[in-house]
Amino acid sequence: MHDIVIRGGTIVDGTGKSRFTGDVGISGDQISEVGGKLGPGRREMDAGGLLVTPGWVDVHTHYDGQAMWDPMLSPSCWHGVTTTMFGNCGVGFAPVRAEHRGALMDLMEGVEEIPGVVLSDGLTWEWESFPDFLDALERRPHAIDIAAQIAHLPLRVYVMGDRAVRFEQARPDDIAQMRRLTVEALRAGAFGFTTSRTDSHKTTTGDMVPSRYAGSEELVGIGTALGEVAAGAFGMNSDFDDEEAELAWMTKLAKSTGRPVWFLLTDRYDDPERWRRLLGAVHAARAQGANLTAQIAGRPIGVMLGIGTALNPFTVRPSYREIMGLPIPEQLKRLRDPALRRKILDEKPFCSD
Ligand SMILES: [Zn+2]
């Protein structure tokens, strides 16, 4: 007898076969039978009208903080995700020295709109190195599988201190140190390295993130760690300021390390052909033997809008921009003025970054 029988769901088994209706039997921690009408199980679940699929692997999340306090990793677990990867977009929490913890929480709040108060309540900071961070994750229960990547922002701040925040170029000894720590992280189980080179990632005070202007020598220098360990992928969120140069070093890195190099493929209203050019470049690089990939979201990115968050429907109107830096109670007070409200609504929204 099966331990669990899932009855009558529409099965998409992930092999490319077309969907079919049937039962799924589970014994212990293994799927033991798929399809047809199975005998009774110790526990039965009715999946009529529902899809039964293999677990989803979500390769782009920002659970770096939440994985420390939420064993369920909700809402991903509700949507059938059974493996989630974090440490994306260059933001993360290791390696870190005590004096930079606040700055890393600010970065996560600024880039991903995860409220700083949630992070400061939830993070216990019993780690400094990336391997220590993985050990801290390992000590906690998780309902789904997790995979962590080492992120450029904490790494740069750890190695370069204030110079990282002042956008100074990394010196050869900085690059060597970041590379060494990335090798260490990969050997401890990191799934890769990520960075951010986009204006849409800013700190809570509106500054660019520390990796925004890092030179290609720094990125390639760190990236060679993947080749040395023969593990992990190199990931990036970039504005492609210089498309040709960006694609050239990524292709070179993928070729020289033999490791996957990926970037987020996003659309731009003011450059609607961009995604086609970038995909064309991916195909060209792959034809040369470079494992270059564009990571494409299954749906548009969700944005939290509000007074006090990075964006709301009025942040694209000049008169609101004049007051958006004020404390929230002061903004609310001013927004009660009918003349200002009329002015804001009459203004033509402009295309923001
Ligand atoms: Zn991201």
CA of 277 to the centre of ligand 1 (A): 22
Distance between Cα 260 and ligand 1 center (Å):
18
Q: How far does residue 236's CA lie from ligand 1's centre (Å)?
A: 9
Distance 261 CA to ligand 1 centre (A): 15
Say what the pLDDT of residue 151 is.
97
Residues 104 and 273: their CA atoms lie apart, in Å, by: 35
Q: How far is the CA of 274 from the centre of ligand 1 (A)?
A: 20
Contact status, residue 92 vs residue 103, Cβ threshold 8 Å? no
CA of 61 to the centre of ligand 1 (A): 6
| Centre of ligand 1 from the C-alpha of residue 25, in Å | 36
Q: Where are the domains of the chain?
A: 2-52, 56-295, 306-353
Assigned fold of 56-295: TIM Barrel (3.20.20)
- 164 C-alpha to ligand 1 centroid (Å): 20
pLDDT value of position 353: 45
Cα 60 to ligand 1 centre (Å)? 6
**Ligand 1 centre distance from Cα of residue 230 (Å):** 24
Q: What pLDDT is recorded for position 268? A: 83
Q: In this structure, which CATH number among 6.10.140.120, 2.30.40.10, 2.130.10.10, 3.90.1150.10 belongs to the domain 2-52?
A: 2.30.40.10
d(CA 141, ligand 1 centre) in Å: 24
Q: How far is the CA of 62 from the centre of ligand 1 (A)?
A: 6
Q: What's the pLDDT at 14?
A: 81
How many A from CA of 300 to the centre of ligand 1?
A: 12
- Digitized pLDDT (tens) for each residue of the chain, 353 residues in all: 999 999 999 999 888 889 999 999 999 999 999 989 999 999 999 999 999 999 999 999 999 999 999 999 999 999 899 999 999 999 999 999 999 999 888 888 887 778 888 888 999 999 999 999 999 999 999 999 999 999 999 999 999 998 998 889 999 999 999 999 999 999 999 999 999 988 777 777 777 777 787 889 999 999 999 999 999 999 999 989 899 999 999 999 999 999 999 999 988 878 899 999 999 999 999 999 999 999 998 887 777 888 888 788 898 899 999 999 899 999 999 999 999 999 999 998 876 44
Decide whether 2-52 matches 56-295 in CATH topology.
no
Give residue 89 CA to ligand 1 midpoint distance, Å: 4
CA of 334 to the centre of ligand 1 (A): 34
Q: How remote is the CA of residue 21 from the centroid of ligand 1, in Å?
A: 36
Q: Residue 99 Cα, ligand 1 centroid: separation in angstroms? A: 25
- DSSP collapsed to 3 states, the chain: CEEEEEEEEEECCCCCCCCEEEEEEEECCEEEEECCCCCCEEEEEECCCCEECCCEEECCCCCCCHHHHCCCCCCHHHHCEEEEEECCCCCCCCCCCHHHHHHHHHHHHHHHCCCHHHHHHHCCCCCCCHHHHHHHHHCCCCCCEEEECEEHHHHHHHHHCHHHHCCCCCCHHHHHHHHHHHHHHHHHCCCEEEEEECCCCECCCCCECCCCCCCHHHHHHHHHHHHHHCCCEEEEEECCCCHHHHHHHHHHHHHHHCCCEEEECCCCCCCCCHHHHHHHHHHHHHHCCCCEEEECCCCCCCCCECECECECCCCCCHHHHHHCCCCHHHHHHHHCCHHHHHHHHHCCCCCCC
Distance from Cα 4 to the centre of ligand 1, integer Å: 36
- pLDDT value, residue 346: 95
Tell me the whole-structure pTM to 2 decimals: 0.84
pLDDT for 332 equals 95
